[in-house]
Amino acid sequence: MEYSLVTEVYEKIESTTKRLEMTDYLVDLFKKTPKDVIDKVVYLTQGKLYPDYMGIELGVAERLALRALAKVSGRKEYEIEEDLAKTGDLGETAQNFLEKRRQVSFFRKPLNVERVYQTLDRIARATGEGSMDLKVNLLAGLLADASPKEAKYIIRTVTGKLRLGIADMTILDALAIAYGKGKAMRDIIERAYNISSDLGKVAKTLAEGGIEALKSFRISVGNPIRPMLAERLSSPAEILEKLGGKCIAEYKYDGERLQAHKSGDNVVLFSRRLENITSQYPDAVELIRDHVKAGDAIIEAECVAVNLDTGEMMPFQELMHRRRKYDIEKAAKEYPVSLFAFDVLYVDGKDLTLEPYPVRHKVLEEIIEQSDRFQIAKYIIVDNVDDLERFFEEAVEAGCEGLVCKSLSSDAIYQAGARGWLWIKYKRDYKSEMTDTVDLVVVGAFYGRGKRAGTYGALLLAAYNHEDDTFETVCKCGSGFTDEDLQNLPKMLEPYRIDHKHPRVESNLEADVWFLPKMVIEVIGAEITLSPIHTCAKDIIRKGSGLAIRFPRFTGRYRTDKSAEDATSVDEIVEMYRRQLKKIEAE
Ligand code: ATP
């Protein structure tokens, strides 16, 4: 297929402002395209060589493209730069210069799609020593045989600036028209895309095998599935109503979504945007390899950095350490992730995406050997507002964003690539920020694990209630302690140790060790939230709930100058909570 057929369509697309016309041009193009190159044509029209998830990018630096252009046009680089300063588009500059080319080759072979694609592919893959020169030479070779118009598009493609703005959905529409008729067909094509994330593969399967081939299009391990997304509501009553009065409510962990593809011992991880992020999470790869009891499987999980010594979930920002290229192993040691699995899409040859969620959830429970670091997302099955609200508070306090409530109905399939009402997220519609530190009383402690074995993993902290002369718990705090603090804490607290909860302490939690309310420490948290667990200000803001400090952290100051009764009071915490509420603009 001649490349000029493709560039003619590019020109038309660039000159139209109407989406329908754009689709028509694509339909014409696809009809003219031989079946064996349709995948390549599809990728090229989106300025790509492969589906995004393969991570092979064109993006040749403008400098290199300019060198190739100088070579072919017989001009100096500075002349090209001058023209580029005027046009602002190296593609257009290329067209200008090739129109004025000094030596026109009489033996110019017309370019075909295969050659353009293969050359661009070699350019994209060239790495290492000498690769710059190789890229320039390959590009120059292509430009030498290109017409000025073709050169314009080749340059734009190779520099990652072919901006025809053709959305995936437009390509699907055009394929449906070019190869069949009717909406039913469109749905089948779209589903194939949603379960493969590969438009080229879908186009080729359709062109070669017709709609029948697409109907039997299968999920394959290694090809990411476009993620199912949630709608949002802000009242538990509405959520329950929308989900038929009953749903499964799950913690909405605040980490990074992973779609894990396991084939034997080989594990590949895709992000929410379907980039391959396997190298960022060697620890997650290992967890999946060790804990998923299936040969082949595709599961989805949220990965969260968790302090293993205390069991506390860390804020999402901790995962940023995984973005860097180097020292991933170090980051994985310092901030290891835990996985919370929430769906399974495929197991040993069986596509589960069309099964209802209760079935998928059961399979998930069967194939995952749970451990401290790899769990099924915490859930309850719920049919009333109160329980849902309480579970929500518990989730927020534990460090989650809220809940994802999911339909239990028999048609609750995995809607790949769609945001629908089978999943409804419930996040807070306010945000609070803690700006002040608080001084809290140590009333209990929990034994540590791992590095903290032999000392305390977290302290149970309380605020003072003047009216009742009691100490009401407000958080478990395990962060901010230095190694020295940890070593000294058991000694420092020993004088206050008692073998039962002190009568002035109000706690729903069972600590491993209890103390006389004496020691006061300074703590800062991210915010104050409602809590079904802590007793601070119980029933004051909402019936059945107390207040808790989220992500508490010891500042390093032991307030030896304060007695327990001088600690921050419950009233102050209530006041802080009220002051800090701010409405979040709906997303
Ligand atoms: P958000 O910023 O709210 O995460 P989003 O557009 O990325 O928005 P949504 O579909 O609105 O995604 O919310 C679902 C997201 O929540 C998933 O992408 C996933 O990363 C995360 N998540 C955490 N826990 C769960 C869970 N138990 N079930 C489903 N998704 C979960």
**Which tokens go with 78?**
């500075």
Cα-to-centroid distance, 256 and ligand 1 (Å): 9
Torsional class of 346: left (φ above 0), alpha (ψ -120 to 50), beta (otherwise): beta
pLDDT for residue 102 is more than 70? no
Secondary structure class of 309 (helix, strand, coil): coil
**296 Cβ below 6 A of ligand 1:** no
What confidence score (pLDDT) does residue 432 get?
Answer: 62
Does pLDDT of 360 surpass 70?
yes
Atom 6 of ligand 1: nearest residue by CA position? 229
377 touches ligand 1 (CB under 6 Å): yes
Cα end-to-end span (Å), the chain: 46
Residue 280 pLDDT > 50? yes
Q: Which of 52-56, 287-291, 428-432 is the most confident on average?
A: 287-291
Residue range 115-126: mean pLDDT, rounded: 96
H or E segment at 232? strand 229-232
List the structure tokens of 181: 């008729």
CA nearest ligand 1 atom 3, residue: 425
pLDDT at 140 over 50: yes
Pocket-testing residue among 253, 368, 423, ligand 1, by greatest number of atoms within 8 A of Cβ: 253
Least trusted range by pLDDT, from 42-46, 187-191, 315-319 = 315-319
Nearest CA to ligand 1 atom 31: 252
Distance between CA atoms of residues 401 and 403, nearest Å: 7
If you take atom 12 of ligand 1, which residue's CA is the nearest one?
229
Average pLDDT of the residues in 402-425:
96
**Residue 252 CA, ligand 1 centroid: distance in Å:** 7
Stretch 342-346: mean pLDDT: 98
Q: How far apart are CA 391 and CA 419, in angstroms?
A: 24
- 450 within 8 A of 464, measured Cβ to Cβ: no
Domains along the chain? Answer: 229-426 (3.30.470.30), 438-586 (2.40.50.140)
Radius of gyration of the chain (CA): 30
CB of residue 302 inside a 6 A radius of ligand 1: yes
Which one is catalytic: 135, 152, 252, 538?
252
Per the model's pLDDT, the better-predicted residue between 193 and 332 turns out to be 193
Residue 582 pLDDT level (bands cut at 50, 70, 90): low
Which ligand 1 atom sits closest to the C-alpha of 257?
A: 20
**Local confidence band at 454 (pLDDT 50, 70, 90 cut-offs):** confident
Contact 66, 84 (CB under 8 A): yes
Supply the pLDDT for residue 587: 42
In which band, very low, low, confident or very high, does the pLDDT at 312 lie, cut at 50, 70 and 90?
confident
Give residue 16 CA to ligand 1 midpoint distance, Å: 37
Average pLDDT over residues 403-415: 97
Q: Is 230 in the pocket of ligand 1 (CB under 6 A)?
A: yes
Please choose, from the candidates 97, 83, 109, 84, the residue with its C-alpha nearest in 3D space to the C-alpha of residue 151. Answer: 97
Rounded to 10°, the helix 90-99/148-158 angle is 150
Nearest to residue 414, comparing CAs of 361, 369, 378, 453?
361
**pLDDT over 70 percentage in the chain:** 97
The Cβ of residue 36 has, within 10 Å, a number of other Cβ atoms equal to 12
The 10 Å Cβ neighbour count of residue 210 is 12
Q: Which position has the token pair 């994985």?
A: 332
Cβ of 343 less than 6 Å from ligand 1:
no
How would residue 526 be classed by pLDDT, with cut points 50, 70 and 90? Answer: confident
Confidence of residue 361 (pLDDT cuts 50, 70, 90): very high
pLDDT, average across residues 237-261: 96
Tens of pLDDT, residue by residue over 546-577, are 999 998 999 999 988 888 998 999 999 998 88
pLDDT at 586 over 50: no
Q: How close is the Cα of 404 to the center of ligand 1, in Å?
A: 7
* 252 in catalytic set: yes
Given a cut of 50, whether residue 46 has pLDDT beyond it is yes
Per-residue confidence band for 30, with pLDDT thresholds at 50, 70 and 90: very high
Please work out whether the CB of residue 256 comes within 6 Å of at least one atom of ligand 1.
no
Instruction: Give the whole-angstrom CA distance, residue 567 versus residue 570.
Output: 9
pLDDT at 225 over 50: yes
In short, whether 406's Cβ falls inside 6 Å of ligand 1 is no
Whole-number Å distance between alpha carbons of 196 and 175:
16
- Structure-token pair, residue 439: 């001084």
CA distance 86 to 84: 5
* Nearest one of 299, 429, 279 to 365, comparing CA atoms: 299
Both tokens of 343, joined, read 């769906």
Which is more confidently placed, 449 or 379? 379
272 ligand 1 Cβ < 6 A: yes
pLDDT for 460: 97
49 pocket-lining for ligand 1 (C-beta < 6 Å) = no
Residue 48, token pair as written in the block:
């790509």
State the pLDDT at residue 308.
78
How far apart CA 225 and CA 383 sit, in angstroms, is 31
What is the 8-class DSSP label of residue 319?
G
Supply the mean pLDDT for the chain: 92
Q: Is 378 in the pocket of ligand 1 (CB under 6 A)?
A: no
Residue nearest to ligand 1 atom 11, measured at CA: 230
d(CA 549, CA 544): 17
A 10 A CB-CB count for 254 gives 20
Instruction: Tell me: pLDDT of 350 over 90.
Output: yes
Residue nearest to atom 5 of ligand 1 (CA): 229
Helices (H), 300-414: 328-334, 357-367, 385-397
Burial label for 341, CB within 10 Å (0-12, 13-18, 19+), is buried
Angstrom distance (rounded) from CA 336 to CA 318? 10
